Amino acid sequence: MCEVSGEVELDKLIRVLHMLANPIRLKMLALIAVKPRHAYELSKLLNLSYPLTHIHLRAMERAGLVEGSYIEEARVKRVYQLKNVHLVINPETLRKLGEKLGGE
């Protein structure tokens, strides 16, 4: 969950849910879950332009969903893999958010 010292981080939760609400990003995450992939491979699998694929990957990296690392093959490639993200939304989580927002 998006917690620091037991407190739910509302901004981080919103950012992660925003990333997951985009169907292209959700498809990318599903493909990366099968195996680490580079941007060109994802762009071909999803029939997207390379620049658009790269924009989505960078956004997911900033949100903490994926991480990129460089590997050397015939040429150097940046390969993305899933980070260990555990997202839980339940009544207790929502209650904590409500209290943090001043809902007594």
Q: What pTM value is reported for the model?
A: 0.79
Given this structure, which CATH class describes domain 3-98? mainly alpha
Q: What is the token pair recorded at 57?
A: 């990957």
- pLDDT for 36 equals 96
Q: What is the token pair recorded at 78?
A: 């940046």
pLDDT classification of 1: cutoffs 50, 70, 90: very low
- pLDDT for 104 equals 65
Which of these, 2, 12, 1, 10, lies nearest to 63 by C-alpha position?
Answer: 12
The average pLDDT across 81-102 equals 85
Neighbours of 5 (CB within 10 A): 5
- What interhelical angle do 10-21 and 23-34 show, nearest 10? 90
Question: What mean pLDDT, rounded, does the chain reach?
Answer: 87
Kindly report, residue by residue over 52-86, the tens digit of the pLDDT.
Answer: 999 999 999 998 899 999 988 888 889 999 999 88
In this predicted structure, the answer to whether residue 2 has a pLDDT above a threshold of 60 is: no
Domain ranges of the chain: 3-98
